[in-house]
């Protein structure tokens, strides 16, 4: 009798949709839960090299919470590629400008840095308000 470890394929994943309300949630704790759900670690068929995760819709990203002095001390960087082209923005200014990016950057940092991670990141949908265009997918509510 052969014994082997089952390796899930992408076709084994039904791909359920979840709705997460970020109001009053701490950014890092929310991001780790969402990243785990995108990756599929909750699924008994989890396979590290395969997409066994679900779609996640995050609403109320403009009501996220950061602890301590992170609003003023946490910086986000981007680099143009030119000399002196390093741009810096604090979490507070990023929240005023694009609140969805706070959640996106936090989740993206917790996903694998390869083709699979880029594919999983596309399954994350973040919105600043409480409205989203994914009602047709009938997302289930997920408590954080």
- What is the predicted pLDDT for the residue at 3? 78
Task: Return the structure tokens found at 43.
Answer: 């699924």
Q: Is residue 131 a contact partner of residue 59, using CB atoms and an 8 Å limit?
A: yes
State how far the Cα of 93 lies from the Cα of 101, in Å rounded to an integer.
Answer: 11
* Token pair in block for residue 137: 């997918």
Residue 60's pLDDT is: 97
Domains of the chain are: 17-141 (3.90.1180.10)
Report mean pLDDT in 10-residue bins for the chain, 144 residues. 80 91 97 97 91 96 97 97 97 97 97 97 97 96 92
58, with CB counted inside 10 A (0-12, 13-18, 19+), is buried
- Please give the model's pTM, rounded to 2 decimal places: 0.92
């Amino acid at each position: 009798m052969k014994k082997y470890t089952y390796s899930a394929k992408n076709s084994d994943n039904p791909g359920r949709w979840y709705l997460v309300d970020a109001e009053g949630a701490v950014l890092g704790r929310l991001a780790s839960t969402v990243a785990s759900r995108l990756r599929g670690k909750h699924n008994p068929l989890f396979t590290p090299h395969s997409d066994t995760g679900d779609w996640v819709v995050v609403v109320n990203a403009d009501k996220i919470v950061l602890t301590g002095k992170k609003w003023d001390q946490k910086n986000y960087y981007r680099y143009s590629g030119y000399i002196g082209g390093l741009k810096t923005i604090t979490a507070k200014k990023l929240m005023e400008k694009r609140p969805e990016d706070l959640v996106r950057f936090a989740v993206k940092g917790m996903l694998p840095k390869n083709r699979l991670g880029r594919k999983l990141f596309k399954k994350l949908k973040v919105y600043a308000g409480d409205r989203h265009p994914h009602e047709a997918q009938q997302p289930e509510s997920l408590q954080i």
